[in-house]
């Protein structure tokens, strides 16, 4: 009887040890998988480029903000303005849009580079909307994840802003693309919405 009990105990001990070993193995594999995934999803060069823009936007440094934009993004924005100023409602477009770029005429505007056009727009915003600058100075950017697909990078981040003492958090996706070895920003969704509005209003 005692021998049977001892045998049973040994079997239970072996079973428990095997179970513990299996648990440790699974835990290690899960840890390894999570570590590999975290490494795969970590793109420090992309995140650094994004945070560089975020820092510039907090102090609304329009030169640094413009320098962080991809030439394709600047070209797309410029093309929309050009189309409005040369479209069927060009007189109305000139009246409403030229002041945004501190230009007195379409000819004066046309001599500006894509970089100058984008920077001047942000300069105008800075002068006419000081409340926005205050809002941006208190904004926080928290990167949630980054990913690559083809030649584009996507940064998912939480943008938190305080409006009338109330914190508002929004999950935003920012697209970046390489240019001459550097990650630069494409137009954000808000800019794309503005472009759509301009196209609808003047074309």
The whole-model pTM stands at 0.76
- The Cα–Cα gap between 197 and 26 comes to 54
What end-to-end distance do the CA atoms of the chain give, in Å? 96
CATH code linked to domain 44-202: 3.10.450
Residue bearing the bigger pLDDT, 198 or 22: 198
Angle between helices 90-97 and 189-202 (to 10 degrees): 140
Whether pLDDT at 35 is above 80: no
Provide the residue ranges of all domains of the chain, joining segments of one domain with +.
Answer: 1-33, 44-202
Structure tokens at 15: 């079973």
**Per-residue confidence (pLDDT) for residue 36, from 0 to 100:** 35
The count of C-alpha atoms lying within 13 angstroms of the C-alpha of 158, restricted to the half-sphere facing its C-beta, is: 6
Please check whether residue 157 is in contact with residue 140, taking contact to mean a CB–CB distance below 8 angstroms: no
- The Cα–Cα gap between 50 and 137 comes to 17
Mean pLDDT score across all residues of the chain: 85
């Amino acid at each position: 009887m005692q021998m049977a009990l001892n045998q049973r105990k040994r079997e239970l001990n072996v079973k428990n040890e095997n179970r513990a070993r299996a648990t440790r193995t699974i835990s290690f594999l899960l840890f390894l998988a999570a570590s590999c995934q975290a490494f795969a999803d970590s793109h420090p060069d992309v995140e650094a480029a994004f945070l560089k823009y975020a820092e510039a936007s907090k102090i609304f440094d329009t030169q640094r903000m413009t320098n962080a934009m991809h030439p394709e993004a600047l070209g797309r924005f410029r093309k929309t303005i050009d189309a409005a100023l040369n479209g069927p409602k060009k007189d109305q477009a000139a009246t409403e849009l030229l002041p945004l770029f501190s230009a007195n005429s379409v000819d004066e505007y046309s001599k500006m580079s894509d970089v100058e056009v984008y920077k001047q727009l942000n300069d105008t915003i800075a002068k006419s909307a000081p409340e926005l600058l205050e809002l941006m100075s208190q904004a926080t950017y928290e990167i949630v994840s980054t990913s690559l697909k083809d030649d584009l990078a996507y940064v998912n981040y939480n943008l938190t802003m305080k409006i009338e003492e109330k914190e508002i958090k929004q999950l935003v996706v920012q697209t970046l693309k390489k240019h001459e070895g550097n990650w630069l920003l494409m137009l954000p969704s808000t800019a794309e919405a503005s472009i759509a509005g301009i196209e609808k209003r003047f074309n």
